[in-house]
Structure 1
Amino acid sequence: MDIASLHAFVTIADHGTFSSAADRLHVTQPAVSKRVATLEEELNVRLFDRLGRTVRLTEAGNLLLPRARRILAEVADGRRALRNLSGMISGTLTLATSHHIGLHRLPPVLRTFTARYPHVRLDMRFMDSEVACGVVLRGEVELAIVTLPPHVEAPLEASPLWPDPLVIVAARTHPLAQLSTVAMPQLAQYPAILPSEATFTRRIFAEELARLGVDISVAFATNYLETIKMMVAVGLGWSVLPRTMLDGELVEIPLVGLRLERMLGVVRHTGHTLSNAAGALLAILHDQSTIPVENS
């Protein structure tokens, strides 16, 4: 099977349309269609059902997809291992990160990296932390710089970089902001705007609420912390956000008996060879993190 055809097949499956896959692969849509047609002809199966402008995997496509991902991951791993022999730090480094970390943690790291290694092209992919761990597992990116999950299972490996304390926040005009201290029953009287249930941040908060035996009313949920900050700032509810997001628009609500923290860090696949560029970025991340690296 041709690697370019497999790459086109996986990209279409991930993005849902031939045109989106063409944009991702930096080729024309007819070129993508031809690659898939060649693969379907070789395998003597139809891989996609065409539904207007979108596509859906057939039974054969669903069967091939995980195998195609493994093949592409092995090929990419082999290429990285061979390139590493030169000792050069160049080529493309593909990363996944969240919008929040990209805004608030990565700029100084990337500034150092690009100045030190100008021959590396960074391919930054922004997504939820939970999704990012999945793309590392599938070998689509080398590193994910994300909110770390509570538990990481092999073959993934997580390295903590930045402790990120979480606090209850509200607008300055919110009734809770007028109190010197707040107890959980008082907090539960007002609606909350929280990260969605699928996020690691929400799970951390939910576990603490369960420990305290408290139920709250959730008015809205979204994955984007900047959106939550805006909605809280206009008085639509309170939320739990990183302390680093506090500014003149928001105030911390001093809640009795509550202490929350999440950990930000980097996730990699231990079964895949890291490129020289990825290794160099890891060194900078650890050098600029607030958690010292333990000697083994």
Structure 2
Amino acid sequence: MDFQTLSAFLAVADAGSFSAAGERLFLSQPAISKRIATLEAGLDQPLFDRIGRRVTLTDAGRALLPYARRALDDLEDARRALTHLRGAASGRLTVGTSHHIGLHRLPAVLRQFTRRHPQVDLDLSFMDSEQACEAVAAGRLELGIVTLPLTPEPRLHTELIWPDPLAVVVGVDHPLAHAGSVVLQDLAAHPAVLPDHQTYTHRIVRKALASHGLTPHVRLATNYLETLKMLVGIGLGWSVLPASMLDASLRPLTLPGLQLSRTLGMVWHQRRTRSQAAEAMITLLRTQQPASASAVSLSPGM
């Protein structure tokens, strides 16, 4: 077994497809197949069942999976430790972030980072915050810049960068936009457009309403906040959006007893050695913190 064959094995196991694994590793499907065949020959056991286009792990594959992950994690830690000795931020930094943060919070940070550290190849993936956190926990990404989890994840260190107040909003032609005083029961009587129920933002909204005995009627769900803003603007329903997104197309509602907020920040694996590139990004992100949040950490230790 070597680094290349183990990388191919993990890529196929994660993607469930030889072609998708090849795309992830920038290799052709035959090259991936050859590496898997070499690994299976060395172990004298099949690692995948190939049924049509479906690829699933055999019992031997499932047994090998945690050891393969651990071996590659150890190799990556060794590479990072050697990079620390050289002292320069270089190599590849894998980062996952949400579309909202990428559009509204990161442009200036990324501009500074690439100017200061031109030797770093920045691999930036856009995805839901929940997916980014899971990818960091599983070792597929080194750093996540995300909406922070509502409950601590034992594998992750989380650190607040940006407080993100939320506003309940409707379109300018919505009945509640001109209703004067509005209470939560009024809101619950109208349909909502919200992020998917698995997102941290949806959970914040549902938990807040549930504390008042209310459940939102969700007409439509999408995880793209810019899309939600458009749907609210055309009158499809009320929503909850970052206050920083408010403009003339929206009317924020003041609701007694309801204050909503989420926190945006960074996550990394508790037990992984951070590369110099990751350390440089973390240091730069900490300069974005409000003074009151500079020492805030949402999980114990490093």
SS at match of 2:287: helix
Query: Could you tell me how far apart the structure 2 residues matched to 1:196 and 1:264 are?
Result: 18
What is the 5 A alignment of 1:1-296? 1-291=1-291, 292-294=293-295
Aligned-residue offset at 1:224: 2.2
Aligned-residue offset at 1:57: 2.4
Aligned-residue offset at 1:14: 2.0
Amino acid paired to 1:294? A
Query: Could you tell me how far apart the structure 1 residues matched to 2:130 and 2:92 are?
Result: 23
CA contact (8 A) 2:160 2:265 kept: yes
Amino acid paired to 1:193? V
Aligned-residue offset at 1:183: 0.4
CA contact (8 A) 1:143 1:266 kept: yes
Aligned-residue offset at 1:225: 1.8
Amino acid paired to 2:294? V
SS at match of 2:282: helix
Aligned CA distance change for structure 1 residues 164 and 20 (closer, same or farther; 3 Å): same
Aligned-residue offset at 1:293: 2.1
Amino acid paired to 2:122? L
Query: Could you tell me how far apart the structure 1 residues matched to 2:79 and 2:151 are?
Result: 31
Aligned-residue offset at 1:249: 2.2
SS at match of 2:170: strand
CA contact (8 A) 1:144 1:267 kept: yes
Aligned CA distance change for structure 1 residues 193 and 293 (closer, same or farther; 3 Å): same
Query: Could you tell me how far apart the structure 1 residues matched to 2:51 and 2:284 are?
Result: 46
Structure 1-normalised TM-score? 0.94
Gap runs ≥5 in structure 2: none
Aligned CA distance change for structure 1 residues 53 and 117 (closer, same or farther; 3 Å): same
Amino acid paired to 2:7? H
CA contact (8 A) 2:165 2:261 kept: yes
106-115 or 231-240: bigger deviation: 231-240
Structure 2-normalised TM-score? 0.93
Aligned-residue offset at 1:65: 2.3
Gap runs ≥5 in structure 1: none
Aligned-residue offset at 1:289: 2.3
164-173 or 148-157: bigger deviation: 148-157
Q: Deviations over 1:157-207 (max 9, x none)?
A: 111000001111111111111123310111011111111111111111121
CA contact (8 A) 2:96 2:145 kept: yes
Query: Could you tell me how far apart the structure 2 residues matched to 1:178 and 1:47 are?
Result: 63
CA contact (8 A) 1:181 1:256 kept: no
Query: Could you tell me how far apart the structure 2 residues matched to 1:59 and 1:179 are?
Result: 62
SS at match of 1:125: strand
Query: Could you tell me how far apart the structure 2 residues matched to 1:104 and 1:190 are?
Result: 29
Fraction of identical pairs, as percent: 52
Query: Could you tell me how far apart the structure 2 residues matched to 1:243 and 1:59 are?
Result: 50
Aligned CA distance change for structure 1 residues 230 and 45 (closer, same or farther; 3 Å): farther
Query: Could you tell me how far apart the structure 1 residues matched to 2:173 and 2:56 are?
Result: 49
Query: Could you tell me how far apart the structure 1 residues matched to 2:122 and 2:136 are?
Result: 16
Aligned CA distance change for structure 1 residues 250 and 120 (closer, same or farther; 3 Å): same
Amino acid paired to 1:254? T
CA contact (8 A) 2:206 2:215 kept: no
Q: Deviations over 1:142-168 (max 9, x none)?
A: 111100012223331111000001111
SS at match of 1:240: strand
Say how many residue pairs are matched.
296
Aligned-residue offset at 1:230: 2.2
Query: Could you tell me how far apart the structure 2 residues matched to 1:65 and 1:228 are?
Result: 39
Amino acid paired to 1:200? Y
Query: Could you tell me how far apart the structure 2 residues matched to 1:244 and 1:10 are?
Result: 40
CA contact (8 A) 1:70 1:138 kept: no
